[in-house]
Amino acid sequence: MSSVLDGPAVTLGQMLAAKEARSAAQQALLTAHPLASVLSVTLRIPGPVKTGHVLTTRFAELITQLRQDYGHLLLDERQNHDASGDCAMLALAIDPWSLKQAMLAYESAQPFCQLADLDVCYLDGGQLTQLSRSRMHVAPRPCLVCGGDAKACSRSRKHGLEAVYTVINEIALEGVAI
């Protein structure tokens, strides 16, 4: 097992409920701030354990950095920290295309962001819409293990959990004094 994944295991039902709750929170933020973009920050951790002390600490550091960089645009914020994983949603006064461009750059510049999903959503005709990498004409997210298409590797279960956990440990512990 991974040394950074020391939280409780979650069920598929808990993960689906967390996804529904995230969607409802995004909708609520955008209803309150219809011209905003919502930055939804989660971690891409496969398997039944989604949390751990190191990951929660590094996630908090990432959110602090995002607040420093985008606090002048911050309209509202929601956070949730439970066994399904850490989640922060920031409603920002910026257009979704510019925010997604900035988050793509963030993913490249911040090593820990290899583990982060920095999703951007907005209202389009009153409907919650997520701005995808493909819509931005950007290459798919790289696999943590082999650098290929992360979704393809995940769907095919190309790499075992232990191989993925090894990389997650390396990324999460990079620069951390233990």
Length of the chain: 178
Q: In the prediction, which pLDDT does 68 show?
A: 95
Tens place of pLDDT for every residue, the chain, 178 residues? 468 999 999 999 999 999 999 999 999 999 999 999 999 999 999 889 999 999 999 999 999 999 999 999 999 999 999 999 999 999 999 999 999 999 999 888 888 999 999 999 999 998 999 998 889 899 888 888 898 888 888 888 888 888 889 999 999 998 655 4
Q: In the prediction, which pLDDT does 2 show?
A: 60
Give residue 77's identity as a one-letter amino acid code: E
Q: Give me the DSSP letters along 20-74.
A: HHHHHHHHHHHHHSTT-EEEEEEE---SSB---HHHHHHHHHHHHHHHHHHGGGE
Q: In the prediction, which pLDDT does 150 show?
A: 85
H helix or E strand, kind and range, residue 90: strand 85-92
Whole-model pTM: value is 0.91
Q: In the prediction, which pLDDT does 108 show?
A: 83
